[in-house]
Amino acid sequence: MNYTRRSFIKTAGMGGLAFASYPFSPITKGSEAIKVLNPYNRVPVSLIIDDSTCLVNMAHYGIPQFAEVFPEQYKQEWRKLPREIPDSFVREFGEWSHDNGVKGKYSVVPYPACTGWINRFIPGWTKRELNDSLKLIKEIILPNWDIHPEMVSHTRVIDIKTGKPYPSATPEYMENWEWSQNKSADELAAYQSYALSILKEAELPCEGITTPGGYAARNQNNLALSTLESVRDIYGAEIPHYFRDLYTEKDKSVTPEVLHASGLDGNDPKCVVSVLGCTGDWFGGWDGLTPGSADRFISEDLQSGRMTEVIDSGEPAIMVCHWPGIYYNGEKTGFKVLMEVNRRLNQKYDNIIWMKLSEIARYWAAKELTSISSAENTIMLKAPYATPGFTLKVKASVSKPRIKTCGQEKSLIKITSRKDIANGTWYQDGSGSILCFELGKGLNELIMD
């Protein structure tokens, strides 16, 4: 049976500490007595970086290939754009993000705009320069960022039997447009596995993929299935995830979608998570030609903007940008916008937490797929996936709560401020109790005397 993110509602009816009569009663839809909250009772924030790779400025090399297909739509002066986004900027950005706790996803296009292979060589740069660039990503970017392929080239479709681009520069043979719209899940998985294998040979870890442009926009069920298949096959990732869509409409949910769940009662559960962006690229544009502004994310007076809309709703607020616009031809316009957005977010909020996409995907898989039941003074959680920071709100006063996982029992420490919620703590006020703990894979018992 397949489950989606709305297949499980984590609420239960209970009048007090006597949650339900024995035997254990499953959580039922509609009551707010037991509710799964956001991780650590905070709103996840993240940043998706597209069109990044080693050395190559994707805008410089990609625009002329797009223009060959749609000459009327791509008239940018690509020759004026730098061919390289230097490692000095990668280091500057990576160190800033580390110092400020900014996290997200950083693409590494495997065969960037058909210039060369990141696991072998890229003409125009020495082998040492490529190796140094990969080393920099591993040492400076990886701590705070997931790595994704953005298909193989982000421009021309590659014949995976020969490694060569198909000869026709038409929408049917461009990754951004028609090629992927009518492919089966197995065909997409084979193509995505080819891209993932390049990153694996370059010794980059990966738990998900990013789609270039309109890739599989009209073929999304097969995209989800192919991501599940390819990421598990190449990397053995427990919870594959992908980024395809973003929504900027105020009334459109951007909650991650947990799809194609199966085997939840066994040792090898499966699912795939679609992680959704909530903004447009308002930093500096995919081509590095359109300067952005922080105001569309969060206004100078901190009262409006897309990020405030989403954070205030409690849904994950995931911004979207493109690496050429962050670098912005050496002017770093997009980077400056990001720094200002981060400053304003920190000024307004004390209840946000920066997370990588894989961390968000893991939490939502656990949130949506963990079955919860109750009896006497115990809540039973049967979890197909482990996750840190699993947070429940119980509409009752509790005493001496303990979490028992894999035979190990630990008492939760009482805190006096919501701001201090962390793994192994609990907080109580007039509306009930919030409990935060490491959710283990399998059976967990939350015992409350």
Ramachandran assignment for 440, one of left (phi > 0), alpha (psi -120 to 50 degrees), beta (any other): beta
Domain ranges of the chain: 25-41+370-447, 43-246+278-350
Q: Is the pLDDT at 5 greater than 60, yes or no?
A: no
Q: Is 408 helix (H, G, I), strand (E, B) or coil?
A: strand
**pLDDT, tens digit, for every residue of 362-396?**
999 999 999 999 888 899 999 999 999 999 999 98
H/E/C letters for each residue in 42-72? CEEEEEEEECCCCCECHHHHHHHHHHHHCCC
Closest CA to 26 of 373, 445, 377: 373
Residues 292 and 339: their CA atoms lie apart, in Å, by: 12
What CATH number does the domain located at 43-246+278-350 have?
3.20.20.370
**Rounded to two decimals, what is the model's pTM?**
0.94
What confidence category does residue 26 fall into, taking pLDDT thresholds of 50, 70 and 90? low
Q: Is 185 helix (H, G, I), strand (E, B) or coil?
A: helix
CA-to-CA dists, residue 183 to 162, 178, 217, 220, 383, angstroms: 19, 10, 12, 11, 34
Residue 2's pLDDT is what? 34
Q: Peptide bond before 39: cis, by omega within 30 degrees of 0?
A: no
**pLDDT, tens digit, for every residue of 224-264?**
999 999 999 999 999 999 999 999 999 899 999 999 999 99
15, two tokens:
């009048």
**pLDDT, tens digit, for every residue of 121-169?**
999 999 999 999 999 999 999 999 999 999 999 999 999 999 999 999 9
Report the mean per-residue pLDDT for the chain. 93
Rounded to an integer, the average pLDDT of 110-123 is 98
Strands 378-383 and 442-447, bridge-based pairing: antiparallel
Least confident stretch, 20-29, 62-71, 78-87, 180-189: 20-29
What confidence category does residue 397 fall into, taking pLDDT thresholds of 50, 70 and 90? confident
Q: Is the pLDDT at 31 greater than 60, yes or no?
A: no
Rounded to an integer, the average pLDDT of 410-420 is 97
Residues 395 and 32: their CA atoms lie apart, in Å, by: 7
What confidence category does residue 21 fall into, taking pLDDT thresholds of 50, 70 and 90? very low
